[in-house]
Structure 1
């Protein structure tokens, strides 16, 4: 291993060699003695840099490769690492402790059960500095390892108590409390689970610890760090040890109570009226000092207040307790400074990110807990306290504390004397911060007051009125010179809007609108929030003059806020735009460029993008509002498209906007979303209007781009836009003579080797071509569709191409079937490819139009009795990867699919099976509300989905299971050999229909999906309904019932012949709806 030290030295002296060190050291890692050698390097190397590098390598090696070491190496490493715990360098000591933690993770307790005995043995006769080292090792080990360490606590916790008693040094005691807290966190899993372990760990010493904790908290001289660590470990104990701590709750309440009172003057002086200069805990990112101490104290109080024993003691002091909490709600100097630099704080939820990391939020949490426990009594008490606070502010006196306990009187008197002196010196700060705290609580209570009033109204009791506070405090603060008070008042108005009468809202709304002109962004954001809430309760006819200036202020605000608060501004802008069309129309020339700018900044953020799209749709829906949007966005789209292949710089987005220049790579990412916007413009613009013709100018560049592009996102949104062009702008396209160009581009897009993810809209686009642009069917397009379909695996893409052929079967049944029989794709007959894909995916087809079209087309093929179909083997009844040689002739599979579809359309959970009659004739079972439907049904649009799984769930209650046994006896294998000519199936299972893929799973192929399932934002059928096909909006259930009734009347023999060949399950389904 001598060469190892040379390599470490080279790594330090040569940074380029250091980057390759992991490769160079691989041979050493596999050698005997590598870990012990690194320990020697840490201990004996003259260079601190080499020692540090060796420590890092050791830690990483133990973490990743400990189990690979020989037993001899493990023993040496464990022995040697204990000898370097007391190195002089703190960084090396920490690396050693982390390496040791890695060993413990692998070895304790099974392979190194006496480790903690050895470690605490090192505490004997050691000076305080060395004791701190061992305690720090324990701390790092407990932070890095898991709950298995709890097995060592019965031995370790008494040792910690002994160390505490032996050493009076603050640093030693701080570390003892820190380690004890980590021990409790490690043990918390066992509370109520392994109570014997908890009792063995805590019972022998907890009485002694309790006295120490109380002494530490009450001490006037103890360090803040000690107090903080004690409060933290007590929080863990009372929060996580619900069983073990129950007996100790009563004893801790007086200690917490006294400390909460005694800490108030210090907290107010150090953090409210002055800025506390403290560092942060880097491990937990929590403020230390008095602020951190108060936050931890309130978290402990919250843990205790929620315990069952608390009711009597807290209830007796409820008003005084809430008065106390109001003091901890005051805005600290640090939070006040943050408000100036972070204007989002009123809009974001205070407790989402910060939790209980500040006393202010801890106090709010406690108030919420009190309401949860004491309900209406708590609400009334809180409002009484707030009224007293406001009265004291009006009289320019101090809101002092009080207590009902005689033993607290001296303490309360001393605390009030200190508070009085402090607040007189800082009365201006005190008065506005106390006022802000009152408004904050009112806003927080809004939902609770609403619930209180709702219950009181039902019982004819008096309700809570906030009119006094609203008019004397909140509304007056809208004109306060201090922005924090103004912002808090606006935020409160938004929260209490549900408590206001509609008649009040108009007046308040107009006052709030004036705040949108403020210079402070935080105030404007708060006003924006209030506007959003109030606008839901007013009539736009009452405020027409204010809306234009409000809309302009909102648009201006879009330029000033960050992405975090953009959503509330966009939501408010959308809400106000809907209130008055005339006002919105007047601001669009100013608003469109700003929205374009926001769009180009936030194109990558989905939430913001959705809100921008919603706003654009709203504006496009308004009369004569689409023009400015088209004028701003169309040049951007053309510019992006023209520069796309070359990644050149986009030098100008719009002649009417001032968007900074972006590189092509950045701008290209915007293109898919801008294409979606073009689709909106197409749908909302009038035929041959200036706006429609401007959007038409994008078509030729788009066709050129899609012909050269393979980016799935561009293909997806590009074909969606082409679909919109073909559907909504067909007259303009024909007028400009662009039909041939579109067909030529479509043939390129139908390349079967292009990315399938971009082809979601391609089949639907072809449907619109045949319907709107080229009524004479282009055979090249059909061939392209078939080639693409053959390669497709995604059900949503297959659906589009199946729809192309389904519509053609409706119009040209014989011709299209003959064409498909004459066409082959990779030596497979096109008709078989189509039917295999179709029948596999039929249950997965989404959307009413597509489902209606394809199912009705299947019925048409069934009654054609075309010899090409009757002799064609297609996918079997229940295809799977293991079910080989299961193909059946097409009419049988079609009939099977139709029956399953009918059952899915009329499905009722837990419906009763029909009674079967032994008649040879088919008769419709008329029962319940629908013809041929057994029992009631709730949803005619219930989603169907596919072919049944190979293995039926035994837990599912199947109403036709009772039919299957009878049908097995009834149907058997009594087939007439002359009915059909049955070719021999040679398929290789489901994978044979997927061109080598295994993306289809048989358990997906069942008729059990509901139509109500989320179809996705990218799926719509508006253009298909516009084709006005007769089957577009029919009731599929009624149609299938009529279809089968007609068959039974007009072609009974053929139906009987087919039914005999179906599986018993499918015959049972048929018999469920029609009596056999």
Structure 2
């Protein structure tokens, strides 16, 4: 058997349906890729007439794989598709130069003499990919012959050769350099133009590829022209206008078959890229281009309605692709036209935007016709009503003509402002009036309402400012009355009624109190079981919109029981696509409720527990449960609290016990435990807040009873989980649960005896705390240990043996010495801050007697703790934490204790030598607070002075005060900007960064310190900042220290400290110029 026959057998075997045969043959072929001569053997098989098309296609694939992996040394690097060959190339095999020359010669000869063997389109593409792979690596230096052959093919008259040459140029276009593109354009474009205009002789796919070649090459020539290449500039001028003329003629040509749209789509993409690349040059051409694009859309409406909107079948090849992956079909062409307009409106020329505005109303009028719901969509939604919400909801990920149109509307409004709103409303009103007398025009009406609702926010903003041009187009009260009539009309099409509900909910902010009441009744009727799901889903959205309006609050609260009952029933029918919407609305209603009956609360809890059990891995469901249970518990009803505990705690116990058994089963136990402990945390913090608010005493018997109930049911399963896992979500949430139990149920906890004689609940809690303090545990798992330790010491400090307290402090300081995450450092420093507040100067004596952590240079724990704390203080975040730690440091400073005053730490950046560039920059920079210095270049190379504790304290608290003042100024400035903003502007600029460096505000809105850390540490810490901010809010609720006003406390403390002349004389010499400037500015702020 010859080698060619053996190769043919291996190729057939790799295509075999028998998996064992297929795997064996594929392994042999993969091994042969490294065999000398195999590339040439593949070429021999390709260029003979015997092999089947399947064998040739597979041979091309193998040859391409071989080229990618072994043509040059390291050739497989970064080639994701050839991972197997990349792994095999570790032996350093590279195809020999002689074999390369023979392969390339064989390919050139095949192009000249054997191309008939590749008449099939797929085979042409496969061979082109092989040639392109070699071309990428060897052209121009080592394969000069290939391009003249390709140019000869495209210059000839043979259609097969022309088609192959165009296919190659399309695939290889990205490998031409900008300078070689100029030569290519001069040589090839005349032939491409000859082929392109012969529309009747060549297929649409070929002409589409020509457009792509022209687009990519003209863009590269343009790059050369922009850097001063005169010949490139002349070449561009000589070709651009001519090709744009050809493109516009293509847009005007009728589409006889689906594939004709492929050329139009590629033309629109090319024109779009030209506008983006040369906006000023194209501004002179756009007066001819835009009308042609508008005419393309206007002229295609009838065909679109016939073939797409009213056709029960799915659009033929609507989102299919040709062999190069280009989208084709009428719908795809419409989307491409919308994308062209999006690109055009962003052109930074006033002339272009005025041109867009001039025809915008007519354009939107036509666009509405393309936004109609199709018969095929209706059939799909009828089979699965939840698919309607998945396709049509505001957060839909589906991309179709309707969603592309609404995206375009948002873009037009963002760039053109109120003028775009006026044009769109004008078009929508014309459509609504034209369709009002026709019973069969509901699709157009629905699409027009989609336009109005999409622009609801800017429309209401304009009406609030009495914008006459908007008010003339939209009488809001009359329009809403019409919507209500549509919603209530049982004979109207279901999707029109649903859209009317949606549109009205978007306009709810502009409703009067009376109208909100009427809308609420319409929405309630939309939630009835007899309504179809699309109507009920948008009725659900409508309820959520009404709840947000203060004027409707009393009415919503009065109908609360009915609303909740209907939402619960709707949740029973929901699927994955719609469940979140229903539960989210239910949470919003509960959070706004002034009263909820016991039966209603019982039904709500049962509903959420049911869906939680079915969606344990859904973080949004867990978040919604947190909101729902929190809302119920915050009603200050002890009956609801007790009822909720009775329902939820047994479920949590069962989940914790089950998860402990499942911990070894592929992580399922951790997931279940994490979800259960998160809900337990919600239950505890809200319950204790509710009980203490209702009884006005944290020591009340009701609070202790709640705590005892929790301890009895879930404490031991909780501790068992915490001692068994090292999952950060589980450990952090579990530490918070234990903290709340220590805070409010310490007596039942101390009285509780664990099973098996394991000691009291306090002993078990101590074991968990000891685990969290282990240096071997990752920082991210111990973020919340500081709060737990603090409560243990505050609640039990007097009852604990001195040795136990000392061991706790030793463990905390040892963990502080190894902590790297800023959030863990902050958590541990808070322990000592709270001890300063609770024990006063006594804490200094205790810390002085204890040794410093191993590996540190401090003589004792006192020096280590306060040196570490004051150096890290400026990195703390969260206003509550800043209040606790800053006030504690000021109290320590007021003691004027020599043990503290003698501590030395790293201070500010040293002053640069006089006359240096750094000194000049520093003089111009002003006060270097964190918000001003966070992006300073070369910060890590700065030299820092060594200063005493009090000097560092002066600077730290001054920066805190300055930062707080900056925050207030930013908020006031933001408010002023909002008041002065002009909605009628032609441009709207978005903030570039979107992040602030605030240390006081919630982490959801502001950049945290962890965002500026390296990726390895920052990722884990960023997850926990959001977590801690929420916890701080609850803990601050019970802490009198939260009432501290830093803007008053800091100046008073600084004034007291500076009144001590000896202290002042010790501090002043250690201050840098920047420190002095900072303190001076703070003094001015205080004054």
TM-score tier, shorter chain, comes to 0.7 to 0.9
1:483 alignment partner in structure 2: 494
Asked whether 1:141 is paired with 2:172, we answer yes
2:926 alignment partner in structure 1: none
More helix by share: 2
Bigger shift: 280-289 or 825-834? 280-289
- CA drift of 1:898 comes to 0.9
The structure having more radius of gyration, on CA atoms, is 1
- CA drift of 1:592 comes to 0.8
Deviations 1:875-895 (A, max 9, x none): 67779999999996xxx5312
Distance 1:186 1:762, change over 3 A: farther
Asked whether 1:582 is paired with 2:627, we answer no
- CA drift of 1:324 comes to 4.3
Rounded to whole Å, the distance in 1 between the matches of 2:312 and 2:290 is 30
1:535 alignment partner in structure 2: 547
Distance 1:355 1:190, change over 3 A: farther
Rounded to whole Å, the distance in 2 between the matches of 1:584 and 1:189 is 70
Distance 1:628 1:558, change over 3 A: farther
Correspondences of 1:267-346 after superposition (within 5 Å): 267-275=304-312, 278-279=316-317, 280-282=319-321, 288-296=328-336, 324-340=366-382, 341=384, 342-344=387-389
Decide whether the 8 Å contact of 2:462 with 2:470 is kept in 1. Answer: no
- CA drift of 1:525 comes to 1.2
1:555 alignment partner in structure 2: 568
2:1032 alignment partner in structure 1: 1021
**Cα RMSD, aligned residues only:** 4.9
Q: Which of 845, 848, 854 in structure 2 is aligned with 1:826?
A: 854
Q: Which of 734, 749, 753 in structure 2 is aligned with 1:718?
A: 734
Asked whether 1:695 is paired with 2:706, we answer no
Correspondences of 1:490-501 after superposition (within 5 Å): 490-501=501-512
Q: Which of 168, 180, 186 in structure 2 is aligned with 1:154?
A: 186
Decide whether the 8 Å contact of 2:40 with 2:99 is kept in 1. Answer: yes
Correspondences of 1:375-774 after superposition (within 5 Å): 375=420, 378=423, 381-382=426-427, 385-386=430-431, 388-393=433-438, 430-447=440-457, 449-456=459-466, 464-472=474-482, 475-481=485-491, 482-517=493-528, 518-537=530-549, 538-542=551-555, 546-583=559-596, 585-624=598-637, 625-647=640-662, 664=669, 667-686=672-691, 688-689=701-702, 691-696=706-711, 697-734=713-750, 736=752, 738-774=761-797
Deviations 1:344-393 (A, max 9, x none): 15752389752658897699689979986955763574255235314542
Rounded to whole Å, the distance in 2 between the matches of 1:532 and 1:874 is 55
Rounded to whole Å, the distance in 2 between the matches of 1:376 and 1:49 is 56
Distance 1:43 1:628, change over 3 A: farther
1:842 alignment partner in structure 2: 873
- CA drift of 1:584 comes to 5.9
Rounded to whole Å, the distance in 1 between the matches of 2:152 and 2:208 is 19
Correspondences of 1:44-55 after superposition (within 5 Å): 46=51, 51-55=56-60
Decide whether the 8 Å contact of 2:634 with 2:690 is kept in 1. Answer: no
Unaligned runs of 5+ in 1: 394-427, 651-661, 912-940, 946-998, 1006-1012
Correspondences of 1:797-808 after superposition (within 5 Å): 797-808=824-835
- CA drift of 1:184 comes to 1.0
2:959 alignment partner in structure 1: 904
Rounded to whole Å, the distance in 1 between the matches of 2:963 and 2:412 is 49
Q: Which of 56, 59, 67 in structure 2 is aligned with 1:62?
A: 67
Distance 1:137 1:164, change over 3 A: same
Decide whether the 8 Å contact of 2:880 with 2:1032 is kept in 1. Answer: yes
- CA drift of 1:318 comes to 7.5
Aligned length: 932
* Secondary structure of the corresponding residue to residue 488 of structure 1: helix
Rounded to whole Å, the distance in 2 between the matches of 1:320 and 1:749 is 67
- CA drift of 1:229 comes to 0.6
Distance 1:384 1:107, change over 3 A: same
* Secondary structure of the corresponding residue to residue 710 of structure 1: coil
Distance 1:329 1:102, change over 3 A: same
2:992 alignment partner in structure 1: none
Rounded to whole Å, the distance in 2 between the matches of 1:471 and 1:881 is 63
Rounded to whole Å, the distance in 1 between the matches of 2:364 and 2:320 is 30
Asked whether 1:176 is paired with 2:207, we answer yes
Rounded to whole Å, the distance in 1 between the matches of 2:413 and 2:470 is 26
Unaligned runs of 5+ in 2: 74-93, 692-699, 753-759, 911-937, 967-996, 1002-1011
Correspondences of 1:119-130 after superposition (within 5 Å): 119-123=150-154, 125=156, 127-130=158-161
1:80 alignment partner in structure 2: 106
Rounded to whole Å, the distance in 2 between the matches of 1:132 and 1:944 is 65
Rounded to whole Å, the distance in 1 between the matches of 2:964 and 2:734 is 42
Decide whether the 8 Å contact of 1:11 with 1:17 is kept in 2. Answer: no
Distance 1:261 1:638, change over 3 A: closer
- CA drift of 1:39 comes to 3.3
Correspondences of 1:845-924 after superposition (within 5 Å): 845-858=876-889, 892-907=947-962
Rounded to whole Å, the distance in 2 between the matches of 1:312 and 1:512 is 41
Distance 1:865 1:897, change over 3 A: same
* Secondary structure of the corresponding residue to residue 343 of structure 1: helix
- CA drift of 1:450 comes to 2.8
Distance 1:116 1:701, change over 3 A: same
- CA drift of 1:752 comes to 2.8
Rounded to whole Å, the distance in 1 between the matches of 2:944 and 2:564 is 66
2:302 alignment partner in structure 1: 265
- CA drift of 1:169 comes to 2.5
- CA drift of 1:163 comes to 2.3
Rounded to whole Å, the distance in 1 between the matches of 2:848 and 2:358 is 87
* Secondary structure of the corresponding residue to residue 754 of structure 1: coil
Rounded to whole Å, the distance in 2 between the matches of 1:168 and 1:139 is 21
Decide whether the 8 Å contact of 2:64 with 2:130 is kept in 1. Answer: yes
2:990 alignment partner in structure 1: none
Decide whether the 8 Å contact of 1:274 with 1:333 is kept in 2. Answer: yes
Deviations 1:424-448 (A, max 9, x none): xxxx6x4332332343343345345
1:787 alignment partner in structure 2: 814
- CA drift of 1:127 comes to 3.7
Rounded to whole Å, the distance in 2 between the matches of 1:110 and 1:665 is 59
- CA drift of 1:285 comes to 8.1
1:240 alignment partner in structure 2: 274
Rounded to whole Å, the distance in 2 between the matches of 1:305 and 1:129 is 41
- CA drift of 1:681 comes to 4.3
Decide whether the 8 Å contact of 2:626 with 2:682 is kept in 1. Answer: yes
Rounded to whole Å, the distance in 1 between the matches of 2:943 and 2:453 is 70
Deviations 1:620-679 (A, max 9, x none): 1113333443333322322232233431799xxxxxxxxxxx964653452453343343
Rounded to whole Å, the distance in 2 between the matches of 1:508 and 1:1024 is 40
Rounded to whole Å, the distance in 2 between the matches of 1:143 and 1:882 is 41
